[in-house]
Amino acid sequence: MPTETLDIAITDIEYLRHGDAPLAMRLFRPAASRPHPVVLDLHGGAWNKGDLGGCQARCEYIAATGIAMAAIDFRQAADGYLATMADINYAVRWLKAHAGEHGLDPDRVGITGQSSGGHLAMLSAMRSHDPRYGAQALPGVDATVRCVGMTWPVINPLSRYNHAKRARASGDGWVGDIPERHDIYWKDEAAMAEGNPMLALERGETLATPPALWVQGRPDIVHDYRDPDSPRDLNEPERFAANYRDAGGDIEIVYIEQDNRASQTAHAPLADFFHRHL
């Protein structure tokens, strides 16, 4: 585990603009002048809510250990799935293209995300060369990453949608407006199945499988459950890990107490993982 604690500099940057709507990146850089590895960080919010401020504590913690972090805003909600993926793909390439200006190493780029952001991080890494995701032009760089760190990702949007609808029918109180957020963003179940890291593996798609980490709180009925439609008698974290390994990838699951999800208990495994792989 890295123990170095560094001063960090925080800078807000406009990395992309759609018409009159700018998209912001908040860059957290260790004060030391050497080129640093960098991790793109994606907030959660069931693909509808939240902004880069949701990444602040995680980014500050990891940056203080010597790895630069870049939290971003991206199009979400009714803008839909492909708009989000285009922004994220572009942000990875932006970090590489502008690395020299910000003291970053373009050859050591990772990605992370929480909840729905974890899903987006893995999908971006798996399909870094998907032409739909690369729709925003930025020549000379690609969106490949060296590794992926996820915290309780919604790795299977379709199963979580059905899980939430079943829970609502039985009167479980955790559901809130989760099904409606799925409907707004994904539009239909076909899209939930297509933009789906779990099902993409089970379909046998050709995908990148960089080293990965899944940090999961327990108990967590929202993210750690068994899908009754699954071909494996495993909860979703273990099901995904088994599929990922079957596809040739290396993935570790770290379980923590659910009450510690917003603490260093969740951030520290990510920092250790990124130091090992970047």
Domains in the chain (CATH in brackets) are: 8-156+207-221+250-277 (3.40.50.1820)
pLDDT > 90? residue 277: yes
pLDDT > 80? residue 76: yes
pLDDT interval class at 263 (50, 70, 90) = confident
Statement: the pTM of the whole predicted model exceeds 0.75: yes
Query: What's the rounded mean pLDDT across residues 196-206?
Result: 98
Query: What's the rounded mean pLDDT across residues 202-214?
Result: 98
pLDDT > 70? residue 7: yes
Sign of CA dihedral 71, 77, 79, 80: positive
Hey, what's the torsion of the CAs at 91, 261, 123, 54, to 10 degrees? -30
Strand 68-72, strand 21-30: pairing: antiparallel
pLDDT > 80? residue 6: no
